[in-house]
Amino acid sequence: MTKKLTGAQIFMECLKREGVKHIFGYPGGVVLDIYDELTRQPDLHHILVRHEQAAAMAADGYARASSKVGVALVTSGPGATNTVTGIASAYMDSIPIVVFTGQVPTALIGNDAFQEVDIVGITRPCTKHNYLVKDINQLAYTIHEAFHIARSGRPGPVLVDLPKDVIQASTVPRFPDEIKIKSYNPTYHANPRQVKRALDLIMTAQKPVLYTGGGIILSNAAAELAEFARALQIPVTSTLMGLGGFPGDDPLWMGMLGMHGTYCANMAVANSDVLIAVGARFDDRVTGKLAEFAPHAKIIHIDIDPSSISKNVVVDIPIVGDCRDALIQLNELLSDKPHKDMTTVWGQWLDTIKDWQQKHPLTYTWSDTTIKPQYVVEKLWELTRGEAYITTEVGQNQMWAAQFYKFKRPRQLMTSGGLGAMGYGLPAAMGVQVAKPDAIVIDIAGDGSIQMNIQELITVVENQLPVKIAILNNSFLGMVRQWQQLFYEKRYSATPLRAPDFVKLAEAYGALGLLATRPEEVEPVIQEALNTPRPVIMDFRVEPEECVMPMVPAGKATTEMLLA
């Protein structure tokens, strides 16, 4: 290319070369040139959010559902700082997004200019990498590198800060074809010797368990995981982030483990003699009291991020590499080496697991007069045939969704796992619906968390995105209230919550509002919502003091579950 282009034009060309079709953003003074250039880009669809936090979270939801890099564009100062929570959430959950922030002209940086903040410094701890572009001749390469870093290795958010004078300057651009970073070379191919060691150990086990995380989904390894688990008949559990990586209706599935995991999953891990961790990071919500986590097990850990291995739990066989690559190698070794029918070898172990499942299933006490929140989630699963894309807010609603919606496949659940950011669900649902326009997308929300980003309801209405919002309305900040009930003698300090009339609020935004106050109204409300081709809020008035169970109290071992 020999023609001079402005920074804004180079920016647009870079996005198109990266395959970007959708941008979530909010304009401001220093990015006006970019927004002006957008008017001449028919192939780039901009979704105008109502708060910059929502732009980052929508990009996150888009990335999770589509397996592409999500893109957000905001202005400088408060526009940039408003994205930080969304960026931090993506960082904790390893989600590939690129956030472009405007910046004051380079000559004013450091002078406390109007709407100037050091967003590079602010986001350094919560981005995989970030950039301040000071030279227009570096712009194209920087953007290409940003996308490469976001999507490769262990994915994550990357921020690119764009000063106004760089956006306005002109140059003859050079668009790079490939990226070479000497200090950044992720290991994709797992060491075959380590993989063989792992399989040899597995074949000596009496009580094996597969413990899987979000890495299964990010590496598109669900099929390989299912093949391996079924070949050896190894029971499977997963973290919150791993839900959908193994079918929720498979006989080998034990449910989620950890603080609000199933009795069966927690007991199986605690009693296992070989624990195979794939794409998981031994988060504290999973392990409980570290000294008593899987105390009898030899541990195999497969992860693309070497810094995650033995960080929280010391493992016996570390395998650094892509989860899919490692599982492919394991499956090839199995196919080359005849083995016994493992249902007979591990028959007693599998019978023990079935016994735990039968004696302590996920359950709740039915009421003829009050809606139980678990029942709402069960009905959502039943009436969508388990095919919906589910986003959640954070709190009890998130855990009930994880427990009672049986996820069939990867990228079906979008939730803020590591950071636990309230307000995530609605903008994430918006991003998912943009990525999957023909799918059923449901945000399972609480009456507290939905209000964190309720303003995005007008965004989904304006863009004709038929997102459904199921509010489990208990008039409390439910999860905090649960802790106060169980551990603070029911001193409900700052947790009783007055919510607006969500039906009227939906109507004010141009959506449909529906109300259910009794159990028999739940199914008709869901059916009407699913049959309505526009955004819907379903307000379910649920049991106020219902608790998420099982629950592992803070500091306790995962075997010390409260069951009721």
Catalytic residue (one of 1, 4, 16, 114)? 114
| CA angle centred on 58, ends 57 and 60, rounded to 5° | 60
- The answer to whether 473 touches 376, Cβ cutoff 8 Å, is no
Tell me which H or E stretch contains 425. Answer: helix 425-435
Catalytic residue (one of 12, 479, 538, 551)? 479
Q: What is the DSSP letter of 95?
A: -
Nearest CA to 278 out of 253, 246, 231, 232 is that of 246
Q: Which sign does the torsion angle of CA 291, 294, 296, 302 carry?
A: negative
- Residue 120: count of CB within 10 angstroms of its CB: 17
SS3 of 155-208: the string is: CCCEEEEEEHHHHHCEECCCCCCCCCCCCCCCCCCCCHHHHHHHHHHHCCCCCE
479 is a catalytic site residue: yes
178 is a catalytic site residue: no
Sheet holding 536-541, edge to edge: 413-414, 389-392, 441-446, 468-473, 536-541, 512-516
Q: Which two tokens stand for residue 106?
A: 């380079």
Q: Is 255 helix (H, G, I), strand (E, B) or coil?
A: strand
Catalytic residue (one of 52, 116, 224, 456)? 52
- Mention every residue, 6+ apart, whose C-beta is less than 8 A from residue 180: none
In angstroms, how far is CA 19 from the centroid of its own chain? 22
Cα(257)–Cα(139) distance, rounded to whole angstroms? 45
- Residue 458: count of CB within 10 angstroms of its CB: 17
- Residue 174: count of CB within 10 angstroms of its CB: 10
228 is a catalytic site residue: no
Strand (E) positions, 220-325? 236-238, 253-256, 274-278, 298-303, 317-320
Catalytic residue (one of 68, 164, 207, 298)? 164
- The number of residues in the chain equals 564
114 is a catalytic site residue: yes
41 is a catalytic site residue: no
Catalytic residue (one of 21, 41, 115, 292)? 115
Residues recognised as catalytic: 52, 114-115, 164, 479
